[in-house]
Amino acid sequence: MDADVIIIGGGAGGGTLARALAPSGLSILILERGEYLPREPANWDAETVFASHRYHTDEQWLDGAGKKFTPVTGYHVGGNTKFYGAAILRRRQEDFSARRHVDGETPAWPIGYDDLAPYYAQAEAWYFAHGEAGADPGEPPRAAYPYPPMTHEPRIQGISDALRAQGLHPFPLPLALQRDEAHPARAPCIRCNTCDGFPCRLHAKGDAEVCGVAPALAYPHVRLLTGTRVTRLIAGPGRRVEALEAEGPDGAHRFQARAFVLAAGAVNSAALLLRSADDAHTNGLANASGQVGRHYMCHLNSACIAIDPRHDNPTVFQKTIAINDFYAHSGDAAFPYPLGHIQNLGKVTPEILRAERPYIPRPLCRWVARHSVDWWLTTEDLPDPDNRVSLTPDRSIRLNYRPNNEAAHRKLCARWKAVLHRLGFPLVFFQRMDISAVAHQVGTLRFGVDPAQSVLNPECRSHELDNLYVADASFMPSISAVNPSLTIMANALRVADILRRQLTEAA
- Amino acid 240 reads R
Question: pTM of the full predicted structure?
Answer: 0.98
**Among 299, 291, 327, which Cα is nearest to 404's?**
299
Can you tell me whether residue 329 is helix, strand or coil?
A: coil
* Tens-place pLDDT, residues 72-86: 999 999 999 999 999
b/e map 399-430, b = 16+ CB within 10 Å? bbbebbbeebbebbbebbbebbeebebeebeb
Those residues whose C-beta lies under 8 Å from the C-beta of residue 387, and which sit 6 or more positions away, are: 294, 295, 296, 297, 400, 401, 402
Q: Give the pLDDT confidence score for residue 495 in this predicted structure.
A: 98
Position 148 scores a pLDDT of 96
Which tens digit of pLDDT belongs to each residue from 153-179? Answer: 999 999 999 999 999 999 999 999 999
Least confident of 166-175, 184-193, 394-403, 456-465: 184-193
264 is in which domain, residue-wise?
3-506
Residue type at position 19:
R
Return the percentage of the chain with pLDDT > 90, whole number: 97
Q: Which helix (H) or strand (E) holds 274?
A: helix 266-275
- 268-308 pLDDT, tens digit per residue, is 999 999 999 999 999 999 999 999 999 999 999 999 999 99
Contact (CB, 8 A) for 152 and 321: yes
Q: Is the pLDDT of residue 476 over 90?
A: yes
**Residue 354 in this model has a pLDDT that exceeds 70:** yes
pLDDT for residue 385 is more than 80: yes
Alpha helices, H only, 290-349: none
- In order of 40, 164, 257, 357, 416, the CA distances from 340 in angstroms are 37, 18, 42, 27, 11
CA distance 151 to 162: 16
Burial of 220 (0-12, 13-18, 19+ CB in 10 A): exposed
pLDDT at 189 over 90: yes
Distance of CA 114 to the CA centre of its chain: 21
- Count of domains forming the chain: 1
For residue 184, what pLDDT band results from cuts at 50, 70 and 90?
confident
pLDDT attached to residue 507: 62
**Ranges of H-type helices in 182-229:** 208, 214-216
- Residue 41's pLDDT is 96
What pLDDT was estimated at residue 260?
A: 98
Residue 134: count of CB within 10 angstroms of its CB: 11
Hey, what's the torsion of the CAs at 501, 502, 505, 507, to 10 degrees? -120
Most distant CA pair in the chain, distance:
71
Whether the per-residue pLDDT at 237 is higher than 90: the answer is no
Predicted local confidence at residue 133, as pLDDT? 97
- Nearest one of 306, 331, 309, 447 to 383, comparing CA atoms: 447
pLDDT recorded at residue 185: 81
- We report the CATH number of the domain holding residue 68 as 3.50.50.60
Distance CA(290)–CA(44), nearest Å, equals 43
- pLDDT mean across residues, the chain: 97
> Strands of 257-262's sheet, edge to edge?
222-225, 28-31, 3-8, 257-262, 468-470
> In the chain, pLDDT over 70 holds for what percent of residues?
100
Can you say whether the dihedral through the CA atoms of 20, 21, 22, 28 is positive or negative?
negative
Task: For residue 245, report the phi and psi dihedrals to the nearest 5 degrees.
Answer: -115, 140
Q: What's the pLDDT at 183?
A: 85
Residue range 191-203: mean pLDDT, rounded: 96
Give residue 319's pLDDT: 98
CA distances from 172 to 57, 59, 94, 134, 258 (A): 33, 37, 21, 10, 43
